[in-house]
Amino acid sequence: MKKLSIIKNKFSSSNNSKSFGKVLTVCLLIGIITVFGFIIYYLTTPEEGFIVFAVLNEEEELGNYPTKALVDENLTFYLYMENHLGYDLKFRIKYGACNNDTWIDPTTLGCSNTTLAHTTGNYTIHSSHKWGPMPVNVSFSEAGNDQMVLFEIWKIFSDEHEEFLFVENGFFLRINLNITTT
C-alpha cells in the first residue's frame, strides 16, 4: 500500500499541472522568439529589385506590332522603362535592324552576326521612377523574311565601362518582321 501511495504522490495532479505549465511556457517562448526572428529577417532583408522594359507600338501600346514592312520604310517604336532596383540606374539602349542570321548568344553577352546601328543617349532612372516613352525609328535596307528589330539595355558604370544586362536578367527585346520590296 505504501508503494501505491508514493506512486500517487509522484504523479499527483498538482505536479502534472506545474510540469505542463513549464513546458507550455518554454514552447510559447520558443514560438515567440521564432516569429520575432522571422519579422526581423523580413524587415532587414531587401526585396530583389527588377526593371520593367517595354517596346510599345506606334500608338504607344503593348502588342499589335507591325509584322510586315517595306525596304527603307521608317518604323516607329517607343521605349519605356521602370526602375524598381532600389537604386538609380544609369543606362543606354542599343537597337537596330537585324537579319535572320542574328542570334542571341549568352556567352558573348549579346547578339552574334550583327552590330546594332543605333544607341540612345545616356539616361538615369531614379529608383521607383519611370522613363519614356521615347520614340525610336528603325528601317531595313534589304528584303527578307524573319528579320528583327532588336533592343538591348546597357548599364553604364562609368565613362569607360558599360555592361550589357543580359548577364543578370536578359534585358533585350526583339520584334520579328517580314520585309518586302513592294
Summarised one tens digit per residue, pLDDT across range 117-151 is 777 888 889 988 999 899 988 888 888 887 888 88
Could you tell me if 11 and 89 lie in one domain?
A: no
pLDDT at res. 93: 83
pLDDT at res. 23: 86
Could you tell me if 34 and 56 lie in one domain?
A: no
pLDDT at res. 35: 92
Could you tell me if 76 and 15 lie in one domain?
A: no
Could you tell me if 83 and 19 lie in one domain?
A: no
For every one of its 182 residues, what pLDDT tens digit does the chain have, with 9 covering 90 and above?
Answer: 555 454 455 555 556 677 888 888 888 999 999 998 888 888 887 777 888 888 899 999 988 888 888 888 888 999 999 998 888 888 888 887 777 666 655 544 455 555 567 778 888 899 889 998 999 888 888 888 878 888 888 777 766 665 555 444 456 677 777 888 87
Phi–psi pair at 17, nearest 5 degrees: -70, -35
pLDDT at res. 96: 79
Could you tell me if 72 and 11 lie in one domain?
A: no
Within a 10 A sphere around the Cβ of 121, how many other Cβ atoms? Answer: 7
Q: What's the burial of 2, exposed, middle or buried (CB within 10 Å: 0-12/13-18/19+)?
A: exposed
Any idea what DSSP says for residue 65? -
Q: Examine residue 106 and say whether the peptide bond preceding it is cis (omega within 30 degrees of 0).
A: no
pLDDT at res. 167: 41
Could you tell me if 55 and 36 lie in one domain?
A: no
Phi–psi pair at 88, nearest 5 degrees: -70, 140
- Owning domain of residue 130: 50-180
pLDDT at res. 107: 47
The model's pTM is 0.65
Could you tell me if 34 and 104 lie in one domain?
A: no
Could you tell me if 18 and 68 lie in one domain?
A: no
Domain total for the chain? 2
Adjacent-strand bridge partners of 130: 82
Any idea what DSSP says for residue 24? H
Could you tell me if 92 and 172 lie in one domain?
A: yes
Could you tell me if 67 and 132 lie in one domain?
A: yes
Could you tell me if 29 and 56 lie in one domain?
A: no
pLDDT at res. 78: 93
CATH code at 70?
2.60.40.10
Could you tell me if 97 and 138 lie in one domain?
A: yes
pLDDT at res. 92: 82
> Whose CA is closest to 137, among 79, 82, 91?
79
| Contact yes or no for 126/90 (Cβ under 8 A) | no
